[in-house]
Amino acid sequence: MNFYSVEKWIDWVDQLSLNDYVVIDNFLSPELYQAVRGFLLQKLEVDEFKRAGLGSAFNNQKDTSIRGDFTYWLDKDRDTLLTPAFDLIEEIKFALNRYCFLSLTGYEFHLACYPAGTFYKRHVDQFQDRSNRMISVIIYLNEGWKQGDGGELKIYKEDEELLIDPIAGRCVMFKSADVPHEVMKTNVGRYSLTGWMLYQPSGVGYILG
Ligand SMILES: O=C(O)CCC(=O)C(=O)O
Ligand SMILES: [Fe+2]
């Protein structure tokens, strides 16, 4: 464990097991936060984001009435500026396997940008024809986010709805199959590092766009 102690991981994994989700603030160190956000802004500037799709590679549609985000799929070998972020993702995988008794074998991550006025309607992250997404992981990169900016993550539990503010450095993890959620309409550009811990690596996430 290079980033966080065993005690911290056990606490977070317990919350994830018990509540189906966990929120961890200041998950990225200031250096790592700057590296990831700087990388995202650079990719946005050179226009390397693509409109996100719906469904799996076999059933892919793009419909802005359901989701309006743009994504940049990450590749560990190509995007070496993000090696420390991949080290942290490896630690997440290790901790979930060890303390959550999962058998995660891989992951897929993208950078996401929701332009002002966009949202992602209620959904679950497991696809009907590709059910290997086990845990969803989202790390927000929104400096100076304030009430009124919108873009909250809404999580649906049995009889309650939780609104999670997408503030800088905050990490949310939840069980991909069990937690319906949505991204409320954002009034400002909304950025995140988003990914899924997989039961079997698919390596096809980027095809989804
Ligand atoms: O950015 C978020 O808060 C959630 C994104 C999401 O639900 C997804 O990409 O599947
Ligand atoms: Fe989602």
Domain spans of the chain? 6-208
Q: Is the pLDDT of residue 172 over 90?
A: yes
Question: Which residue owns the Cα nearest ligand 1 atom 7?
Answer: 182
The three-state secondary structure class of 24 is: strand
Question: Which two tokens mark 192?
Answer: 């995140």
- Given a contact cutoff of 8 angstroms between Cβ atoms, the answer to whether 112 and 71 are in contact is yes
Residue 42 DSSP class: H
| pLDDT average, residue stretch 196-206 | 69
Q: Note the pTM of the prediction, 2 decimals.
A: 0.93
Any atom of ligand 1 within 6 Å of the Cβ of 125? yes
Question: Which residue owns the Cα nearest ligand 1 atom 5?
Answer: 183
Give the pLDDT band (50/70/90) at residue 209: very low
Closest ligand 1 atom, residue 166 Cα: 3
Q: Is the pLDDT of residue 119 over 80?
A: yes
Task: Give the Cβ contact number of residue 23 at 10 Å.
Answer: 18
Give the pLDDT band (50/70/90) at residue 61: confident
Closest ligand 1 atom, residue 190 Cα: 1
- Given a contact cutoff of 8 angstroms between Cβ atoms, the answer to whether 175 and 17 are in contact is no
- Given a contact cutoff of 8 angstroms between Cβ atoms, the answer to whether 125 and 196 are in contact is yes
Q: Is the pLDDT of residue 204 over 70?
A: no
- Given a contact cutoff of 8 angstroms between Cβ atoms, the answer to whether 93 and 173 are in contact is no
pLDDT of residue 164: 98
Amino acid in position 78: R
CA distance 51 to 17: 33
Q: Is the pLDDT of residue 26 over 90?
A: yes
| CB environment 111-131: b (16+ within 10 A), e (fewer) | bbbbeeebbbeeebbbbeebe
CATH 1.10.1740.10 correct for 6-208: no
Least confident of 22-26, 99-103, 108-112, 133-137: 99-103
DSSP H helices, 55-193, are 83-99
Residues contacting 104, CB < 8 A, separation 6+: 93, 96, 97, 134, 135, 197, 198, 199
- Given a contact cutoff of 8 angstroms between Cβ atoms, the answer to whether 133 and 126 are in contact is yes
Any atom of ligand 1 within 6 Å of the Cβ of 194? yes
Question: Which residue owns the Cα nearest ligand 1 atom 10?
Answer: 125
CA distance 89 to 79: 14
The three-state secondary structure class of 171 is: strand
Q: Name the pairing type of β-strands 120-123 and 106-114.
A: unpaired
- Which of 120, 155, 156, 164 for mutating ligand 1's site (highest number of atoms within 8 Å of CB)? 120
